[in-house]
Structure 1
């Protein structure tokens, strides 16, 4: 990968020239949300870039899409499909390369650089997509096994269907927020005394507020209702990826989930990282799914052996006092099901996937104690303290706690990352 002429691009930045993630920003100079990409500590304002007279000569694929980077979301760009995304990303890489073939387009144009190359500190990040639907899967094998073992014992940890299909449920898209948005502790029905019979719930703030470390996938191009997406074609329907924290109120979830699954225990908030890493940027980091010992139905059989990614994932917990502790380090390689398999299964019955829909992997955990992607696992169901810096402890989240999730892959100078996925817990609204 060539170097960039953009100043102050550290070898350790997750926004190297090898990345070029897309997001939606606003600034004091232009408060209307619009498209940008991240490079080092800067953003390249694509709306400002597209205002230049030579823009359509540099980006011929966008000639019939005027103002596409002035939109408040990336949906219209995503809907153009992966070949266009690939061409635009490569062109931006060329414009930002030290050896660019078009220096006059940006590198040597001081006036345009002044307008288009901004500090990340001077922009506000917004939700990158207009999200119509959200589906959360359960593809993390080690999480599924360890949580199942907590409640059903090791012999019955996995449900009989787990290795036959990617288990999922429909989540709530309206409560998906961009990194940095505060998260209010939810209120719901909970059981105070689990030993009492009959069970008697009370309505109160959740006492077992948790995190779920996930990878999210945005859909680019749709399928028609009544049709399905082949697993071998599913890659063409993927726009890009984000880090996703599906906040979970375990006590609300425990009481409500039988027989239809999660509801208020999940629908109050989901946080995503601000930058969408395009599918092509993660191609070098492909790896094989965890072995599945069950023969699959033909529609789930992939031709590719390497259909998931080896992304280094990290979760930090920052207390109200400002003390930070890394509570988990794991990898996205610990998935049994790939996104193409999730898409193929999701659309099998004719469900129409739409541009901007997001799929979550479910919690990603590894096999060792320090690789767990939820406090439910780290605390062994709330029975064990998770040690924090300064002799503080947690079993679940307290008001004022901040959770920071990160994902990164690649070597220095060529790192690919998503930006921080951050949420701070606020006190619940008093029960009326």
Structure 2
């Protein structure tokens, strides 16, 4: 008989922890002063060291592919493990950290205080694709650019996306340098090159690919969810003035490629299972997705109920000890396409996905005025400056500003689990 899953941990800081209680157990790559990066698991205010757990024999009996994968300095190999092998690993962690664990003395020796750990990118990302699945954001931006036709005819037929720059992905806490690029100021006929004056953030969900697919073989929609290993928060920093000049006809380039910030912990698909929900029904008159993008089970369970939050901490607030100000609260249920639909569409042409590839959801704004996931929306392209409680105003981000993203799920009987923070502070242009 399969042992019951424990409901509480013997790790005291995990009790009522808003992000990392026992039911979460996200994975990441951490190091300490002088140590090599290695796999860790967040539990309360601690990090469980997988290298130490392996050395103490605490993972004996798990599939060999799992043992090999958690001994490495990235999560690529773990993402590539079969789903049942990753589930077995999670069950072992639950019982190692559960309140009745017989080996807690050995496990306690594998714990480090998170405040003494440095976090790294969870995986070596070969390819990064950013989608445009947040329909409220797409509609607001479209109204700014095309008041009479906010959404182009293809939006409700095909998940829109573009290939981003994997080399400039960085974990939470790494500053972002204000980029330079070519733009055409309003009222001028010729472009100039210089630092962006319209630096923006985007509130997104990051999607980590688990097992990939052979070149030339599409991933069927009914199997697509099995190819997703986990999720994180993602800030797709954007230079709106550079973007406005360069994006036609091929889309974003230098306006997006300078940096993208990720939260360092990967919340697994298994941990998020209790927070799955039905995809929102399409409004009357919207087209039925083509057959390769439609699966009844995916429509019934393929959405996620994740509360998403964006906050701003200015230099003025920081020096005066003021708290960060909330800019928006939205939800991942605002995605027009499910994650499985994104995976299926990405591979329909035979494109090969690899373990550790990363998708961005696109900016996930909600319908309300307080649910805008970018300053482009909040300030209506800069025409309506935002008045902050500190007395400052913002059209776009200033040097010294720090954007903080948070994500959290809530369910009866489980409480909350979260993603930790995704932070980035703006440095002046060189």
Aligned twin of 1:195? 187
Q: What is the aligned partner in structure 1 of residue 421 from structure 2?
A: 420
TM-score between the two structures when normalised by the length of structure 2: 0.93
For the pair 1:161 / 2:154, whether they are aligned, the reply is yes
The equivalent residue for 2:113 is 119
Tell me by how many angstroms 1:80 deviates. 0.6
The equivalent of 2:94 in structure 1 is: 93
TM-score, length of structure 1 as denominator length: 0.93
1:206–1:64 Cα change, 3 Å? closer
Residue 133 (1) aligns with residue 127 (2): yes
The corresponding residue for 1:309 is 304
Residues in 2 aligned to 1:5 and 1:65: alpha-carbon distance in whole angstroms? 25
The Cα shift of 1:288 comes to: 2.6
Asked if 1:77 corresponds to 2:69, the answer is no
User: Which residue is equivalent to 2:203?
Assistant: 213
Alignment CA distance shift 1:273-1:40 (3 Å): same
Which one of 27, 31, 37 corresponds to residue 33 of structure 1?
37
Conserved? CA contact 2:221–2:340, under 8 Å: yes
Residue of structure 1 equivalent to 2:369: 369
Is residue 258 from structure 1 mapped to residue 255 from structure 2 by the alignment?
Answer: no
1:403 aligns with 2:403: yes
Which ranges of 4 or more aligned residues in structure 1 deviate by more than 4 Å?
64-67
How many residues in Structure 1 have an aligned counterpart in Structure 2?
A: 414
Structure 1's 285 and 413: CA in aligned 2 closer, same or farther, altered over 3 A? Answer: closer
Q: Kindly state the Cα deviation for residue 410 of structure 1 after the two structures are TM-superposed.
A: 1.8
* Unaligned 5+ runs, structure 2: 1-5
CA distance in 1, matches of 2:229, 2:58: 26
Tell me the equivalent position of 2:105: 108
> Are residues 1:244 and 2:244 paired?
no
- Give 3-state SS (helix, strand or coil) of 1:232's partner: helix
Are 1:336 and 2:336 counterparts? yes
CA-to-aligned-CA distance 1:309-349 (integer Å, 9 cap, x gap): 11011111000121421011111110110111011111001
What RMSD over aligned residues (CA atoms) do the two structures have, in Å?
1.4
Find the aligned partners of 1:409 and 1:313 in 2 and give their Cα distance: 9
Deviations along 1:389-408, one digit per CA (max 9) or x if unpaired, are: 21111110000000000000
Assess if the C-alpha contact under 8 Å between 2:133 and 2:361 holds in 1.
yes
Q: SS at 1:99's partner residue?
A: coil
Residue in structure 2 matching 1:288, options 263, 278, 301:
278
Tell me by how many angstroms 1:195 deviates.
2.5
The answer (yes or no) to whether the contact 2:196–2:242 under 8 Å persists in 1 is: yes
Counterpart CA distance in 2 for 1:289 and 1:68 is 33
